Amino acid sequence: MLQHVAIVGSGPSGLFCADALIRQNPALKIDVIDRLPTPYGLVRFGVAPDHQGTKAVTRQFDRLFTNPNIRFLGRLEIGTDLPLGVLQAHYDAVVLAVGAHQDRPLEIPGADLAGVYGSMAFVGWYNGHPDFADLNPQLSNSIAIIGQGNVAVDIARLLAKTPAELAASDLCAHAAAAIQAAGITDIYMIGRRGPIEASFTSAELAELGKLERLRPVLRKSDLPDSIPAGLDPNEAKVKERNLQLLHEYASRTDEKPVTLHFLFHSAPLELVGNGRVEGLHVAGGTRPLAVGTVISAIGYHTAPKGDLPAAASNGRLPNSDGLIAPGLYVVGWAKRGPSGTIPTNRSEAKAVADRLLADFASDAAPAKLGSAGLDAWLKQQGIAVLDFAAWKHIEAAEIAAARPGAPREKLARWADLMAIQAQQQAQQ
């Protein structure tokens, strides 16, 4: 009998799944578990800080936690603090929404030089992820971004924006100061394929042409006159708009202090430097690009810990339409890979929720203990968690610390976040 569900991960996939489950079965008891003391995962730490409209989905998630049947248990890592096997012993079904939190390695010579960063770490640094608060990237005036997806576009845009353009964002103060101090003049966005294959969306690409101090440049010879026939109609629409924008950028003659160089058909070959990166060889180039910082935005993969299922060679957890094993499911990036938008997560999570409910429709086994069993186990182990009330204290502190016009100044260090836990425990 399905009465108790645990969802591991409080990002959009996990919470959309919780929402779909509780809408169809309001009597369910759902515990949402996260290793971080703050919920919302990708929305908080992945969505660009100047895209506040996208982040507004957290209002819906806030309402979800007002339901007394849904709890948030933060600062609890599945697989290590809490073995998956123990969780399964207490819940009728478990949904893994653990995301993809490890950068795909940049497998070229010189990738281990100082000044080379993965986009997971770099985005986490400017978005206030406590794991990356001490990254302290060495930013030069000339930066290469390897990859041509939306993450690469986000990074380029944030590196180029003026303080005024970022005033309403929640870009962390330490990141804003470092970016402005770097005196950036050149950004190279490097892809091994052509402009038709680039995976950025039209809306993201269009933003680059509207920035106060950024000028996108590229060779007209890299651009075809039209897209190939036979594409899916929706994909064709995006590609046509992308090509139109790129043709417009190639025709611009204005001068601005920051130049964004689109390099297509330019696979990265080797990073060179004496201890620190000083140049990047790309396919077709006659000499290395003079760059002092390299950010690799070539994708992520899932890296489970402890007794969580191992990821396959494609970086995802093996599953059949979301089912890993009886009673164990997966949603989001851990299921399909790091692709899609927030709405993509909504539709996919609902499909997995529908499957879970269907799987248990005729199940007559006795329900497990759920929250009561887990709480007893945590008490026995001496493990304290942060609840949703603790998160609201964190949020209130961030809002109070915000600069004028900004929504918040994130608490980006573990010590500051855990001080909230200490305060909560002292009040109990």
| Range list of β-strands (E), 43-141 | 70-73, 93-96, 102-103, 116-118
* 3-state DSSP assignment of residue 224: coil
Domains of the chain: residue spans and CATH: 4-101+302-385 (3.40.50.720), 104-300 (3.50.50.60)
Task: Write the DSSP symbol of residue 27.
Answer: T
Give the pairing type, strands 258-263 and 214-217: parallel
User: What confidence score (pLDDT) does residue 71 get?
Assistant: 98
Per-residue pLDDT of the chain (428 residues; tens, 9 = 90+): 899 999 999 999 999 999 999 999 999 999 999 999 999 999 999 999 999 999 999 999 999 999 999 999 999 999 999 999 999 999 999 999 999 889 999 999 999 999 999 999 999 999 999 999 999 999 999 999 999 999 999 999 999 999 999 999 999 999 999 999 999 999 999 999 999 999 999 999 999 999 999 999 999 999 999 999 989 998 999 999 999 999 999 999 999 999 999 999 999 999 999 999 999 999 999 999 999 999 999 999 998 888 999 988 888 999 999 999 999 999 999 999 888 788 888 999 999 999 999 999 988 888 899 999 999 999 999 999 999 999 999 999 999 999 999 999 999 999 999 887 677 666 65
As a whole number of Å, the CA-based R_g of the chain is 23
| Angle formed by the axes of helices 150-160 and 119-126, nearest 10° | 40
User: What confidence score (pLDDT) does residue 407 get?
Assistant: 97
Tokens read off for 35 = 């290793």
* 3-state DSSP assignment of residue 117: strand
Give the pairing type, strands 186-190 and 142-146: parallel
User: What confidence score (pLDDT) does residue 170 get?
Assistant: 97
Backbone torsion region of residue 34, taken as left when φ is above 0, otherwise alpha when ψ lies between -120 and 50, otherwise beta: beta
- The span from the CA of 410 to the CA of 286, in Å, is 44
* Cα torsion angle, 298, 105, 120, 328, sign: positive
State the amino acid at position 419 in one-letter form: A
Q: Burial code of 100-119, b = ≥16 C-beta within 10 A, e = fewer?
A: bbebbebebebbebebbbbb
User: What confidence score (pLDDT) does residue 428 get?
Assistant: 58
| pTM, rounded to two decimals | 0.95
- The span from the CA of 80 to the CA of 361, in Å, is 32
Closest CA to 338 of 5, 8, 12: 12
Q: Torsion angle of alpha carbons 418, 78, 107, 46, nearest 10°?
A: -50
